[in-house]
């Protein structure tokens, strides 16, 4: 379920600096020392408008099993998403890891739909993530690209586990549409 964030929390998250010094690098050359993830999935017979609407209303994140709190029900530049990740559904919500991000780019064109968000302080990783839908012959190609490195002590200490979690979450995003 997508839930709206408290207005005071939203305002604070809209104004903090990203947790890394490489704005827009997900759209260009990724910085050295960061891990890159790039996965695609072809959605045969999909309609860009339909899957694009799901993407731009946080449906991919919700479909990936994250608790989703947002400043707007529709993705827009400057809006914030605060996700909570739990390793298993039976784990109590209070033990979840908080994952704050802010949207930096949005496309909603006939030839592409998508957005980029950057990590904010408190996120387990430092980096950016791109979600992009593009029409191709007979369907839509969904691409998720990210660069990241450990942002908290537990992701640094548990780097192999953190990479597996990131890879698994990326696969969940790709299959959420």
Residue 29 belongs to domain with CATH number: 3.30.530.20
**How buried is 79 (Cβ within 10 angstroms: 0-12 exposed, 13-18 middle, 19+ buried)?**
buried
- Give me the half-sphere count of Cα atoms (radius 13 Å) on the Cβ side of residue 148: 28
Q: Phi and psi at residue 55, in whole multiples of 5°?
A: -65, -45
Domain around 129: 2-176
pLDDT category at 125 given cuts 50, 70, 90 is confident
Rounded Cα distance, 2 and 60, in Å: 11
Rounded Cα distance, 175 and 67, in Å: 17
Q: How many domains does the chain have?
A: 1
Residue-wise pLDDT for 32-47, tens only, equals 888 889 999 999 999 9
Residue-wise pLDDT for 72-106, tens only, equals 999 999 999 988 866 556 556 655 678 899 999 99
What is the pTM (predicted TM-score) of this model? 0.89
State the average pLDDT for the chain.
Answer: 86
> What DSSP designation does 122 have?
T
Rg (CA), the chain: 15
The helix or strand, by DSSP H or E, that contains position 142, with its residue range, turns out to be strand 139-150
Rounded Cα distance, 5 and 68, in Å: 9
pLDDT for res 91 = 58
Edge-first strand order for the sheet with 112-119 is 2-4, 67-70, 80-85, 97-109, 112-119, 125-136, 139-150, 35-44
Q: Is the pLDDT of residue 149 over 70?
A: yes
Q: Phi and psi at residue 16, in whole multiples of 5°?
A: -75, 155
Candidates 111, 121, 118; CA nearest to 34 is: 118
């Amino acid at each position: 379920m997508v839930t709206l964030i408290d207005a005071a929390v939203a305002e604070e998250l809209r104004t903090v600096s990203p947790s890394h010094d490489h704005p827009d690098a997900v759209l260009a050359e990724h910085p050295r020392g960061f891990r890159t993830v790039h996965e695609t999935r072809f959605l045969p017979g999909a309609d860009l408008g339909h899957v694009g609407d799901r993407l731009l209303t946080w449906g991919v994140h919700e479909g990936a099993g994250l608790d989703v709190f947002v400043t707007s029900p529709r993705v827009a530049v400057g809006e914030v998403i605060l996700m909570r990740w739990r390793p298993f559904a039976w784990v109590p919500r209070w033990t979840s890891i908080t994952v704050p991000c802010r949207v930096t780019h949005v496309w909603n064109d006939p030839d592409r739909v998508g957005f980029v968000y950057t990590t904010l302080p408190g996120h387990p990783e430092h980096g950016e993530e791109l979600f992009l839908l593009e029409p191709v012959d007979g369907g839509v190609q969904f691409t998720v690209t990210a660069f990241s490195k450990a942002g908290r002590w537990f992701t640094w200490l548990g780097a192999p586990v953190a990479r597996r979690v990131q890879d698994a979450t990326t696969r969940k995003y790709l299959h959420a549409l």
